[in-house]
A and B are shown apart, each in its own frame.
Chain A
């Protein structure tokens, strides 16, 4: 296929100016062996999505760094402690307590052969960031804002690897600001949570119908660490929220939540894996979807419990509101358990707005449309209210307030 040649050429050029040559080569090899996972039958994550468009359009790096058009204050976001990722390239001023690491001193959480998108990211990433956060870090918040501004069809492969030192408490906000740029974004964020650390991670996608955004988050949790992840996503052309948490230290706990709105002809993929590798860990997955028009969403969630990971407590739930006849959800929760003393539960639902609840609300004088909006809004707020950062919560609420009146309600 033509795109292989295209990315090979881009890769060769990038390799000249890179130092981590072996790492990149290994990753690119994996990508070029498999290509994009188009209708890959064996892979639950991608088989329901139509990714053929990725094979047709050729995306290239645009390293001319245009930050214009991005004013954080107007969006209710802060400049302080913010890393801006423009066209896939991170730029930031020095932040105290945030120290650069060399690429070989960081132990990667994402593996090179787990996903074609991740491999493409690793091989094509321009100036990946390796950092550790230590006790000199002032404030407790780090923002990463992604924005695209180019008139070309661009490929963006930002990679941010963060090691959160022992006992550090951090709020990490990642925000994707919409743009008109035609882009294939493959952002990868790797987080290492050292002993006793706590990370509150909020991830917001603003809608953009020119963007393909495949976001990967990989988390390594060490002893007694706590990780809370809350995502809000609005429709893009094709987007993915792909999250994997490895519980590698005893008494660690994670709480993973997300809401996805899909409209028009958008496709959205939520993929969540929690690996319980050691005893006495706890995880919760709670995701919700609101689907309308001709959109499509996929949820595949997995709880994996290693043989020695006794006393694991793991829950998983995916609830979907399907607002139109043309929308489709494929939800597939799964458990893979090799230990015997564990408590795990999972469940998934897909349904329309509940008629008896609507009747109850209308019997109080609330008209059908308003009642439906209140119901949908309530359904979404349960997740949005979990966003730990007030600014980001407002930002997400604002997004959802804009979507709600536009949703069509066919039953």
Chain B
């Protein structure tokens, strides 16, 4: 049986509006329970890759395929991908005036449960989980009384993304530069949550510029993405090599 969760073959993708080519024949396979990290210079295509997996329509897939649990993802609407277990922690989460975090996350959790044929969580069950997870991520309840992400600091927004990941329990979590702009404590907290969530069925794809977060997480696989292609893959030792020699040695 195929143990892969996500399989990307020869993926070429461009920016819809400008037709600028970003991904140029990318291959990547993520097995169940594996944690992968993608590193690379700015403009290499890291963010594009995770957004294409999540389904953002400002990118167009020109050729190639993306399979998630053997199912073709490319034509699937964004919300359906999410309901099937793909989650993305955004680099720049949206601020939504007048929408409370509680209401938003309840709607997300309910949508997913409904899709899976399960009953909605009662307010009590949901609240319990909500409060527990807030504490794990270290978010103050008062902050969550505001509109979603409105008036949140950069770090608070990132913690809120990680909190949503905890609530939604995805099979595949995409972390798009979740570590940027975080202080040491917040970084450790994000790392702890990821480590705590790792299990045999859940996989992570972590996009980052720095080794800091990866020191906490110790990914199983590390890839270097340059000019829309993965130029080298390896284990955690690759992180050290990048740190010592920079990306130029891979080009």
Question: Which A residues touch B77, using CB under 8 A?
Answer: 362, 367-368
Q: Compute how far the CA of A355 lies from the CA of B103 in the bound complex, rounded to whole angstroms.
A: 20
| Interface assignment of A357: CB less than 8 Å from any CB of chain B | yes
Which residues of B have CB within 8 Å of A381? 98
Who on chain A is nearest to B56 by CB?
A: A359
Residues of A within 8 A of B54 (CB): 363
Query: B87-95, B118-126, B177-185: which lies at the A interface?
Result: B87-95
Residues of A352-383 whose CB lies within 8 A of B: 354-357, 359-368, 370-371, 374-375, 377-382
Contact with A380, one of B78, B88, B98, B112 (Cβ below 8 angstroms): B98
Q: Contacts of A370 on B, CB cut-off 8 Å?
A: 107, 111
By the criterion CB–CB under 8 Å, are A375 and B99 in contact? Answer: yes
B55 contacts A by Cβ under 8 Å: yes
Q: In the bound complex, how far is the Cα of B58 from the Cα of A362, in angstroms? A: 14
Residues of B within 8 A of A379 (CB): 97-98
B89 to chain A, nearest CB (A): 10
A367 and B94 within 8 A (CB): no
Contact yes or no, A364 B97, CB < 8 A: no
Q: Does the CB pair A365–B56 fall under 8 Å?
A: no
User: In the bound complex, do residue A363 and residue B82 qualify as a contact, i.e. CB atoms below 8 Å apart?
Assistant: yes
B250 on the A face (CB < 8 A) = no
State the CA gap A188–B55 with chains docked (Å). 53
* Residue in A355, A357, A364, A368 whose beta carbon sits within 8 Å of that of B168 in the complex: A364
Establish whether residues B55 and A363, one from each chain, have CB atoms under 8 Å apart when the complex forms.
yes
Contact: A364 with B115, CB < 8 Å?
A: no
Contact A374 B82 (CB under 8 A): no
In the assembled complex, the CB of B82 is this many whole angstroms from the nearest CB of chain A, namely 4
> In the assembly, what is the distance between CA of A316 and CA of B194, in Å?
45
Contact B96 A359 (CB under 8 A): no
In the complex, residue of chain A having the shortest beta-carbon distance to the beta carbon of B82: A365
Asked whether A382 lies within 8 Å of B97 as measured between CB atoms, the reply is yes
Contact B90 A360 (CB under 8 A): yes
Asked if A362 contacts B79 (CB within 8 A), the reply is: yes
Number of interface residues of A (CB under 8 A): 25
| A378 close to B94 (CB less than 8 A) | no
The interface residues of chain A, by DSSP majority, are classed as: helix
Return the chain B residue nearest A378 by Cβ. Answer: B98
CB 8 Å contact bits of B185-217 with A (1 = contact, 0 = none): 000000000000000000000000000000000
How long is the Cα–Cα vector from A54 to B168 in the complex, in angstroms?
Answer: 56
- CB contact under 8 A between A363 and B78, given known A374-B107, A378-B147: yes
| A386, chain B: closest CB distance, angstroms | 11
* A367:B111 contact, CB within 8 angstroms: yes
**B111 / chain A contacts, CB cutoff of 8 Å:** 364-367, 370
Residues of A within 8 A of B83 (CB): 365
Looking across the interface, which residue of chain A has its beta carbon closest to that of B149?
A360
Least Cβ–Cβ distance between A353 and chain B, in angstroms: 11
Contact of B104 among A364, A367, A368 (CB under 8 A): A364
B27 to nearest A CB, angstroms?
24
Q: Is B131 in contact with chain A by the CB < 8 A criterion?
A: no
A362 to B94, CA, bound (A): 12
Looking at A360, A363, A367, which has the most chain B CB atoms within 10 Å of its CB? A363
Provide the bound-state CA to CA distance between A286 and B88, in Å: 35
Shortest beta-carbon distance from A396 to chain B in Å: 14
Q: A365-B115, A366-B107, A378-B147 are in contact. Are A359 and B98 (CB under 8 A)?
A: no
B98 close to A382 (CB less than 8 A): yes
**Residues in A whose Cβ lies below 8 Å from that of B4:** none
Residues A366 and B79 in contact in the complex (CB < 8 Å), given A360-B93, A378-B147: yes
8 Å CB contact of A366 from B94, B97, B108: B108
Are B108 and A374 interface neighbours, CB within 8 A?
Answer: no
Contacts of A356 in B (CB 8 A): 94
Complex Cα gap A83–B108 (Å): 46
| A375 contact set on B, CB distance < 8 A | 96, 99
Closest chain A residue, CB of each to CB of B112? A365
Residues of B within 8 Å of A385, CB to CB, are 98
Assembly CA distance A354 to B93 (angstroms):
13
Given contacts A368-B77, A374-B104, A374-B107, contact A363 B88 (CB under 8 A): yes
**Shortest distance between the CB of A235 and any CB in chain B (Å):** 21
B94 and A360: CB pair below 8 A? yes
Report the Cα distance A364→B79, complex, angstroms: 7
Bound form: Cα–Cα A282–B204 in Å: 53
Complex CA distance for A367 and B115, rounded to whole angstroms:
11
Q: Does B71 contact A (CB under 8 A)?
A: no
Contact B99 A365 (CB under 8 A): no
Q: Which residue of B lies closest to A356 (CB)?
A: B94
Q: Separation in Å of the B85 CB from the closest CB of chain A?
A: 10
CA A381 – CA B100 in complex, angstroms?
Answer: 11
Chain A contacts of B103 at CB under 8 A? 374
A-B contact pairs, 29 of them (CB 8 A): A356-B94, A357-B94, A357-B96, A359-B78, A360-B93, A361-B104, A362-B78, A362-B79, A363-B82, A363-B87, A364-B79, A364-B82, A364-B111, A364-B168, A365-B79, A365-B83, A365-B112, A365-B168, A366-B79, A367-B111, A370-B107, A371-B79, A374-B96, A377-B99, A378-B96, A378-B97, A378-B99, A378-B147, A379-B97
Q: A363-B54, A363-B55, A379-B97 are in contact. List 7 more A-B contacts (CB 8 A).
A: A355-B58, A356-B94, A359-B57, A360-B93, A363-B88, A365-B115, A367-B79
Closest 3 pairs between A and B when the two form their complex, measured CB to CB: A378-B98, A364-B108, A365-B82
Contact surface of B with A, Cβ cutoff 8 Å: 54-58, 77-79, 81-83, 87-88, 90, 93-94, 96-99, 103-105, 107-108, 111-112, 115, 147, 164, 168
Residues of A within 8 A of B (CB): 354-357, 359-368, 370-371, 374-375, 377-382, 385
